Amino acid sequence: VNKVTPALFKAYRTAQDYADTPIEDLKKYIQTCGFYHNKAKNIKAAGKKIVEKHGGEVPQLLDELVELAGVGRKTANVVLGTCFNIPGVVVDTHCGRLTRRLGFTKNTDPVKVEKDLMKIWEHENWSLFSHFMVFHGREVCQSRAPMCSKCTLREHCPFPETREGRKTAR
């Protein structure tokens, strides 16, 4: 998604732009993403709802963001943190896995993981820590072959180093 957004955001600047654009045109920008047919429909529908319900302005409340087509808590928290500097805990598969391995949570449900992390991370650091966990989980603490010897957190991590480079349970 991060690879396609620069061109998409350059071509379409407002919610009205997305609402007015034919789905086929949106697909051209996002076709390298998985599920791009549905994503294009959701982008258009979200643009339309932002125009109709929010006067063309992206809402700054989680509850209003998740009402938009294709927007769940993860995306809503990314938008809040990145666009509005409103801290939010972003839980994707990488963040969930890493925080379980570090012992921050035992939950697998993203909403429960989010709630657990909100209790232990300082509010102003929610977005920063979330981005760190997502990146670290994607690049170092990978699902099947964690690179423990390269991990800056290894001295604090209860996850066994004996699993490094080996296929392991997620």
Q: Which of 39, 44, 49, 74 is catalytic?
A: 74
Let me know: does 97 contact 58? Beta carbons within 8 Å: no
Q: Which residues have CB under 8 Å from 28's CB, separation 6+? A: none
**In the annotation, is 44 catalytic?**
no
Nearest 5°: CA angle at 137, between 77 and 36? 60
Q: Tokens 């302005």 correspond to what residue?
A: 57
Q: Which of 48, 92, 112, 115 is catalytic?
A: 92
Let me know: does 116 contact 105? Beta carbons within 8 Å: yes
**In the annotation, is 63 catalytic?**
no
Catalytic machinery residues: 74, 92
